[in-house]
Structure 1
Amino acid sequence: MKQFTLTQHSFLLLLGLVTVAFFWILLPFSGAVFWGVVLAIVFGPLHERLLAAFGERPNAAALATLILIVLMVILPVTLIAAALVDQALGLYAMVSTGQLDFDGLLRRTVGGLPGWLASLLERYESTIMDTLRDKLTAGVAQASQLAARYAVNVGRNALNFLVSMAVMLYLLFFLFRDGRTITARIKRAVPLSSHYKKPLFDKFVTVIRATVKGNVLVAMAQGALGGLIFWFLDVPAPVLWAVVMSFLSLLPAIGAALIWGPVAAYFLFSGAVWQGAVLALYGVLVIGLVDNLLRPFLVGKDTKLPDYLVLLSTIGGMALFGLNGFVIGPVIAALFIAAWSLFAGAEEFHGE
């Protein structure tokens, strides 16, 4: 086995220290850097086509790709965020002024329950029902206050947001322009043989593209369909609930149903039977069908991960890393599977 000299040990120590220091410096802009890299990977094929169309002029192709990303992604997200803030503030105002009486809503819901269930609940109304009522009222009020406070903080931190956005777009331009060179240098620097590097890098890129494109498309579709039916049924703040359903739909199988399910139940038990039936059928047959058809085709097909692993890695990733976790979780899971598959078939580890 090769023995490292003192000079080599010192250099490796220096390499580790400057690497940690470098990532520490980037920490304030970690979100901008992360999404810059993700967008560069996702829109890489588009940039390659534009590069060929521009006759291998990297600056023009990178700028054109950047403009398309702003028009297709950033501008629509900004407009939706503005509508979300407006409706969140409106919902908070309705809660704080008593226009939305959750105690009354709960009583009407209980009044619509089957007789045997209503009588059973009445026995424990002083305990279970009062507790449920208080928790529901306090929870919704806190959620509305949180949304309003977040909206105010976004306004106050608009400068930080704009700086992060500028950093992301600036980095994205150079990732497009110099992406091939950067990728080649990273591959050379990773201390693995090409037998391992190629499948791991390929899996990394494939999973990021499949996860982002698949989950975002599913989230957009489910959020838009959910917001549409909420608007049709005259549910308050449909844009707000559409965005919430979009975020929750990042959780496979169970996401959007956490919103439309309780609303459908409220309609049914409060006497609005046709609204509840329409929302329940629409949720199962339309919103649920989008998840059942699109997600396996867009995400599972390319990542080659079973549905349960996609679900667990997504939930775990979001629990640890927030919104970024819906990308990080499946990537880690896919690399875990790929690395162990390589290890299981590697002759140098098994002496075959």
Structure 2
Amino acid sequence: MPNNDRLLVQILLLGLLGASLWVLAPFWSALFWAAVLSFASWPVMRWLTRVLKGRQSVAAGLLTGVWIILVAVPLVVLGFNLADHIRDATALIKGFQVEGLPPPPSWLASVPLVGGRLVSIWETLDQQGSALFATVQPYLGQVGNFLLVRSAKIGGGFLELALSLILVFFFYRDGPRLAAFVESLLERLIGDRAQHYLELVAGTVQRVVNGVIGTAVAQALLAYIGFMIAGIPGALLLGLLTFACSLIMVPPLVWGPAVGWLIWQGEIGMAIFLGIWGFFIISGVDNILKPYLISRGGNLPLVVVLLGVFGGILAFGFMGLFLGPTLLAVAYSLLSDWVAHKAPAGLPPREERSPPL
């Protein structure tokens, strides 16, 4: 009878755990990013707490405010600027529909091999603009629906970000208690190796954070050098934007429009240079530097880190940049422990066992 009662209690506990995970499922992404942000900046949190003489809630509030200023405010400004550009683009398209295209730029005819053809296409579009707009009008609705769906997803991402910035305050304030709870839970599950795996996960996440930030700094510096060589105005600001875009792995959002601007200005040679520099140097360094920085200082083989980074991104999106290496690091450590484990108690060593008949 006691065994049946114990089984019933275990079933109830599993059901309660499953229901709790179901309730938290909509917030997994926000919880994950809040945990990553708080963990990456935990040394700053400890220093600020010491400066404020142990007032952890005040330190958590101040550091959360810094994250809001650094992350949320630029994104809000970017959203308003994007809305203005969309309005300007709509007005430009309506102007083309009514007044036609402007004269072709002077550099268009000088493009080698295809310059004359491009000018002819430009003039044809100018003459048949109304017919062209009538042809593409049925597809504009589909494009609008696509953009509406994407905008809704972006809006959901902003809401998740706002929730992450709220949750990060509680991770800062209650971080030591949460860490003690997780350690106690792991000790109940895996015994003495709990501390080892906690350090393994913590070290892996810290190296991933260092790899992401270090790669973003390198890409921003390389982008600044490329913009200076190409004569792009506002090279420093564009370099800072490259740093922000590198954190989400889309630096072409900065150097790509710069290449287009150079082409519009007739600087074809510099446009080709910046396109090659952006593709092979700015974006290409991500594939080399980030895995190296993530594997540096750990005992994981570089191939495991590479598979974790790229496989994680393919499987989980940007979140997989952290999940992939962490999961493979834990799995690799578990397999290493299992292979190196001694023979179970009661069995003689391998060399003393009787050979099979």
Alpha-carbon displacement from aligned partner over 1:70-120 (angstroms, at most 9, x marks no partner): 233333444445556665776788799989x9xx9xxx9xx8589xxxxxx
| Structure 2 residue corresponding to 1:345, chosen from 336, 340, 344 | 340
Amino acid at match of 1:323: F
2:242 aligned with 1:246:
no
Residue aligning to 1:134: none
Report how far residue 9 of structure 1 moved: 1.9
Hey, what's the Cα distance between the residues in 2 that align with 1:23 and 1:216? Answer: 31
> Mapping of 1:34-45 within 5 angstroms?
34-45=32-43
Hey, what's the Cα distance between the residues in 2 that align with 1:83 and 1:68? Answer: 22
Hey, what's the Cα distance between the residues in 2 that align with 1:86 and 1:232? Answer: 26
2:152 aligned with 1:153:
yes
2:331 aligned with 1:332:
no
TM-score, normalised to structure 2, is 0.64
TM-score, normalised to structure 1, is 0.65
Residue aligning to 1:119: none
Report how far residue 347 of structure 1 moved: 2.9
Hey, what's the Cα distance between the residues in 2 that align with 1:271 and 1:341? Answer: 57
Hey, what's the Cα distance between the residues in 2 that align with 1:213 and 1:278? Answer: 28
Query: What SS does structure 2 have at the residue aligned with 1:178?
Result: helix
Hey, what's the Cα distance between the residues in 1 that align with 2:142 and 2:330? Answer: 36
Residue aligning to 1:33: 31
Q: Is the 8 A contact 2:67 2:165 kept in 1?
A: no
Alpha-carbon displacement from aligned partner over 1:151-173 (angstroms, at most 9, x marks no partner): 64268x47x844x4454334322
| Structure 2 residue corresponding to 1:320, chosen from 302, 315, 319 | 315
Rate the CA distance shift 1:223–1:312 in 2: closer, same or farther, 3 A.
Answer: farther
Rate the CA distance shift 1:75–1:202 in 2: closer, same or farther, 3 A.
Answer: farther
Report how far residue 192 of structure 1 moved: 3.5
Alpha-carbon displacement from aligned partner over 1:264-285 (angstroms, at most 9, x marks no partner): 9x97xx9923431354246545
2:73 aligned with 1:75:
yes
> Mapping of 1:186-265 within 5 angstroms?
186-190=182-186, 191-219=188-216, 221-222=218-219, 225-226=222-223, 229=227, 232=231, 242=242, 246=246, 249=249
2:47 aligned with 1:49:
yes
Q: Is the 8 A contact 1:207 1:334 kept in 2?
A: yes
Rate the CA distance shift 1:171–1:244 in 2: closer, same or farther, 3 A.
Answer: closer
Query: What SS does structure 1 have at the residue aligned with 2:171?
Result: helix
Q: Is the 8 A contact 2:212 2:247 kept in 1?
A: no
Alpha-carbon displacement from aligned partner over 1:174-222 (angstroms, at most 9, x marks no partner): 2222211121112212234443211211111121222134214424653
Rate the CA distance shift 1:181–1:347 in 2: closer, same or farther, 3 A.
Answer: farther
Rate the CA distance shift 1:244–1:209 in 2: closer, same or farther, 3 A.
Answer: closer
Report how far residue 244 of structure 1 moved: 10
Residue aligning to 1:295: 290
Rate the CA distance shift 1:274–1:213 in 2: closer, same or farther, 3 A.
Answer: same
| Structure 2 residue corresponding to 1:276, chosen from 252, 262, 272 | 272
Rate the CA distance shift 1:324–1:207 in 2: closer, same or farther, 3 A.
Answer: same
Report how far residue 21 of structure 1 moved: 0.8
Query: What SS does structure 2 have at the residue aligned with 1:246?
Result: helix
Alpha-carbon displacement from aligned partner over 1:285-306 (angstroms, at most 9, x marks no partner): 5x26854775355322145444
Hey, what's the Cα distance between the residues in 1 that align with 2:141 and 2:326? Answer: 34
Q: Is the 8 A contact 1:214 1:298 kept in 2?
A: yes
Q: Is the 8 A contact 2:207 2:293 kept in 1?
A: yes
Rate the CA distance shift 1:272–1:166 in 2: closer, same or farther, 3 A.
Answer: closer
Alpha-carbon displacement from aligned partner over 1:13-72 (angstroms, at most 9, x marks no partner): 122111111111111222211111111211111111122222222212222222222233
Hey, what's the Cα distance between the residues in 1 that align with 2:83 and 2:70? Answer: 21
Rate the CA distance shift 1:150–1:113 in 2: closer, same or farther, 3 A.
Answer: farther
Hey, what's the Cα distance between the residues in 2 that align with 1:75 and 1:312? Answer: 35
Q: Is the 8 A contact 1:303 1:334 kept in 2?
A: no
Hey, what's the Cα distance between the residues in 2 that align with 1:147 and 1:217? Answer: 35
Q: Which has the higher contact order (CA 8 A, sep 6+)?
A: 1
Larger deviation: 182-191 or 71-80? 71-80
Query: What SS does structure 2 have at the residue aligned with 1:347?
Result: coil
Q: Is the 8 A contact 2:305 2:325 kept in 1?
A: yes
Amino acid at match of 2:293: L
Alpha-carbon displacement from aligned partner over 1:283-331 (angstroms, at most 9, x marks no partner): 545x268547753553221454444433332332223322212211121
Where structure 2 has 5 or more consecutive residues not aligned to the other structure, the ranges are: 115-139, 350-357
Q: Is the 8 A contact 2:52 2:59 kept in 1?
A: yes
Rate the CA distance shift 1:344–1:97 in 2: closer, same or farther, 3 A.
Answer: farther
Residue aligning to 1:175: 171
Amino acid at match of 1:199: H
Report how far residue 249 of structure 1 moved: 3.8
Hey, what's the Cα distance between the residues in 2 that align with 1:345 and 1:90? Answer: 65
> Which entry has the higher C-alpha Rg, 1 or 2?
2
Rate the CA distance shift 1:214–1:309 in 2: closer, same or farther, 3 A.
Answer: same
